[in-house]
Amino acid sequence: MTDRTSYIIEGDTGDWEVVIGMEVHAQVATNSKLFSGAPTKFGADPNCNVSLVDAAMPGMLPVINRGCVEQAVRTGLGLNAKINLWSRFDRKNYFYPDLPQGYQISQFQYPIVGEGEIEVEAEDGYSFIVGIERLHLEQDAGKSIHDLDPNATYVDLNRSGVALMEIVSKPDIRSPGEAAAYLKKLRAIVVALGSSDGDMEKGNLRADVNVSVCKVGNYAKFKETGDFGFLGTRREIKNMNSFRFIQQAIEFEARDQVEKIERGDKVDQETILFDTTTGETRSMRSKEDAHDYRYFPDPDLLPLEIDQAWVDEIRASLPELPDQKKQRFMDDYGLKAYDAAVLAADYDKADYFEAVAKGRDGKMAVNWVANELFGRLNKEDLTIAESPVSAKHLGELLDLIKSGEISGKIAKTVFEKVWDGQGAPAAIVEKEGLKQVSDTGAIEKIVDDIIAANPAQVEQVQAQKAEGHAKPKALGWFVGQVMKASQGKANPQAVNEILKAKLDL
Amino acid sequence: MSVTNQDVKKVARLARIALPEDQVEPMTDELNNILNWIEQLGEVDVEGVEPMTSVVETSLPMREDVVTDGGIQDKVLANAPKSEDGFFVVPKVVE
């Protein structure tokens, strides 16, 4: 495991470090909306998944969905967080055509989930802890479409009122790569829990990223004292739903802030957007009172009270979480922490690995699954579900290696053929005559021929032996020749033994 | 507690309520009268009393997660001044 590396921005006045906190919105996986019985299903015709509550018709009253509350609690438990048995809904007031109520029902002062923490594995092979500040339930807004008409905006309220969980992290993220890793981990957790499908392309998981910069050393002072004065002014990059763009946006934004400060300009606390075509961030709202949301308790809703017995029941029903899976992979299959974490973060990959590894050598399995297969899938831009090599076939291939029927080298050839759809490994080996030759008679014959044809090499081996080398280098040359002559099919172990005997080593 | 003309103008703007200039002063006076009247509550000793969220002594009733609504596009759009292809159509909103 490597150490956590610092992400440093070199400025004209010295080195700067970046501090990142994230607000992640995850659509809650339920059949119906947070406060109405309209469906949440994606892809319906416009305004067909809308009740009169979602359209904010006068006199309509919200009734909370138990399923949404349960999913929020489930997620809170998965984030090792405190579940608040008493929470409350507030109104966040602002005007926009896709928000028919004129306010969003959210939880401001008393969220349903309090502080927690998760462990995140970074790409570079180290892990770090991110504190969770809170998780609260709120309504999603509808969708505005600006490009159907040059003079009008079209509004679809299908998403209006769908439940979101907003998960707020502490400013514990310290580089663009860590931000992506955090989001990946969070996604893996909600997907494992079944509390959100985590589909980023559909916008079901999106992040607002708070970025600030400070002189090197100030973050440590902030951690020590809890005084935000040590950190710089943050700007919030809105609505990011791609791991790659999140990293690009943070890289640009952090550098831009350093340049601003060093020029003597002020960084204003504001909301910004990342332009994916230019790779730059730009200001989104300029009105100074745009953020005056005038929160107040929603008079249509009573406080949300849940009992501990229900929370315990939900806890007992939690599935295996990525961290538990990681630990089990380490314990049961002898995997290294990093390999285990990578597999456990993606359930499709984890399931595939387990199907291959079950009852076999775990290290050998991870080698083939993570290196050979995932490497190849990446190269061809395929998902694990689209893999031409099934877990069953890969397992069969491993069995052939283990039993000594084929060598590791031949196995790679067989793997290629299975990839190309030529059938099951055992059948391919049989058909193509790739079976390892362990018949000592046949190998001896090849060895004799090669020794007879290469007296100079024999002399070299003997000379090396006389010099006291237990394993003369020239022996390797003979092994290579024998393997070549047998088209890679000779059992390497048998070749070694026979060569040693014949060369009197 | 009292509000200034400035506060009143700001709140009116946030609430999207048009308030002609000659009505600002009367509105400020009116609101301050109300605030002063409510201020009397400050005389009550509330030491150790939890803030009240609701006047009913009951918790939030929950419904089961089943689809019971939707599929009423025509009703949803019935009052819209303008709609097309199932969408509400509103004046162009540009960020």
Contacts of B95 in chain A (CB under 8 A): 284-285
Instruction: Please tell me whether residues A246 and A261 are part of one structural domain.
Output: yes
Which pLDDT does position A31 carry in this prediction? Answer: 98
Which pLDDT does position A274 carry in this prediction? Answer: 93
Last residue of a domain, one of A314, A347, A374: A314
Domains and CATH numbers, chain B: 5-42 (1.10.20)
Q: Does the beta-carbon distance from B88 to A47 stay under 8 Å?
A: yes
Closest CA to A385 of A340, A413, A355, A414: A355
Instruction: Please tell me whether residues A479 and A344 are part of one structural domain.
Output: no
Instruction: Please tell me whether residues A112 and A231 are part of one structural domain.
Output: yes
H-helix or E-strand spanning residue A83: none
Best of B8, B53, B74 to disrupt the A interface (most A CBs within 10 Å) is: B53
Which pLDDT does position A234 carry in this prediction? Answer: 93
Residue-range definition of the domain harbouring residue A292: 8-314
As for how many domains chain A has, the answer is: 3
Which pLDDT does position A288 carry in this prediction? Answer: 52
Best of B64, B67, B72, B85 to disrupt the A interface (most A CBs within 10 Å) is: B67
Contacts of A303 in chain B (CB under 8 A): 53-54, 59-60
Residues 6+ apart with CB under 8 A from B8: B19, B24, B27, B28, B31
Instruction: Please tell me whether residues A345 and A310 are part of one structural domain.
Output: no
- Distance from the B36 Cα atom to the nearest Cα atom in chain A, whole angstroms: 21
Give percent above pLDDT 70 in chain B: 98
What does DSSP say about strands A90-93 and A296-297: parallel, antiparallel, or unpaired?
A: antiparallel
Q: Does the beta-carbon distance from B73 to A45 stay under 8 Å?
A: yes
Please report the sign of the dihedral spanned by the C-alpha atoms of residue A77, residue A81, residue A87, residue A91.
negative
By Cβ distance, the residue of A45, A66, A152 closest to B62 is A66
Last residue of a domain, one of A398, A432, A466: A432
Token duo for residue A333: 């299959």
Instruction: Please tell me whether residues A423 and A481 are part of one structural domain.
Output: no
Instruction: Please tell me whether residues A303 and A390 are part of one structural domain.
Output: no
Instruction: Please tell me whether residues A191 and A325 are part of one structural domain.
Output: no
Best of A31, A32, A68, A275 to disrupt the B interface (most B CBs within 10 Å) is: A32
- Residue A209 inside a domain? The answer is yes
- Residue A1 inside a domain? The answer is no
Residue B65 C-alpha from the chain's centroid = 28
Contacts of B65 in chain A (CB under 8 A): 30-32, 65-68
Q: Does the beta-carbon distance from B87 to A53 stay under 8 Å?
A: no
- Residue A153 inside a domain? The answer is yes
Instruction: Output the DSSP codes for B56-70.
Output: SS-PPPEE-S-----
Instruction: Please tell me whether residues A388 and A444 are part of one structural domain.
Output: no
H-helix or E-strand spanning residue A197: none
Instruction: Please tell me whether residues A333 and A474 are part of one structural domain.
Output: no
Query: What one-letter code names the amino acid at A400?
Result: L
Q: Does the beta-carbon distance from B76 to A55 stay under 8 Å?
A: yes
- Residue A420 inside a domain? The answer is yes
Give the chain B residue whose CA is nearest to the CA of A293: B14
Q: Does the beta-carbon distance from B69 to A66 stay under 8 Å?
A: no
Closest CA to A292 of A94, A442, A435: A94
Give the C-alpha separation, A482 to A489, whole Å. Answer: 10
Last residue of a domain, one of A314, A344, A360: A314
Q: What is the 3-state secondary structure (H, E, C) of A417-456?
A: HHHCCCCCHHHHHHHHCCCCECCHHHHHHHHHHHHHHCHH
pLDDT along chain B (95 residues), means of 10: 91 91 96 94 89 77 96 96 96 79
Q: What CATH number should be reported for the domain holding residue A453? A: 1.10.10.410
Give the C-alpha separation, A457 to A480, whole Å. Answer: 13
pTM: 0.81
- Residue A247 inside a domain? The answer is yes
Give the chain A residue whose CA is nearest to the CA of B89: A154
Residues 6+ apart with CB under 8 A from A366: A333, A335, A339, A343, A353, A357
By Cβ distance, the residue of B56, B69, B73 closest to A47 is B73
Q: Does the beta-carbon distance from A302 to B59 stay under 8 Å?
A: yes
Instruction: Please tell me whether residues A150 and A176 are part of one structural domain.
Output: yes
Cross-strand partners of A65: B63
Token duo for residue A469: 């080398």
Give percent above pLDDT 90 in chain B: 74
Q: Does the beta-carbon distance from B94 to A67 stay under 8 Å?
A: no
- Residue A225 inside a domain? The answer is yes
Contacts of B17 in chain A (CB under 8 A): none
- Distance from the A35 Cα atom to the nearest Cα atom in chain B, whole angstroms: 9
- Distance from the B18 Cα atom to the nearest Cα atom in chain A, whole angstroms: 15
DSSP class of residue A47 equals T
Instruction: Please tell me whether residues A306 and A359 are part of one structural domain.
Output: no
Question: Per this entry, what is the length of chain B?
Answer: 95
Q: Does the beta-carbon distance from B13 to A156 stay under 8 Å?
A: no
Instruction: Please tell me whether residues A244 and A347 are part of one structural domain.
Output: no
Residue with tokens 């290469």: A454
- List chain A pLDDT tens, one digit each, 505 residues: 577 888 999 999 999 999 999 999 999 999 999 999 999 999 999 999 999 999 999 999 999 999 999 999 999 999 999 999 999 999 999 989 999 999 999 999 999 999 999 999 888 878 899 999 999 999 999 999 999 999 999 999 999 999 999 999 999 999 999 999 999 999 999 999 999 999 999 999 999 999 999 999 999 999 999 999 999 999 999 999 999 999 999 999 999 999 999 999 989 888 889 998 898 998 876 545 556 899 999 999 999 999 999 999 999 999 999 999 999 999 999 998 888 988 888 888 999 999 999 999 999 999 999 888 998 998 999 989 899 999 999 999 999 988 888 888 888 989 999 999 888 998 888 888 777 776 777 888 888 888 888 888 888 888 888 887 767 777 888 888 888 888 877 887 788 888 888 887 7
Q: Does the beta-carbon distance from A52 to B58 stay under 8 Å?
A: no
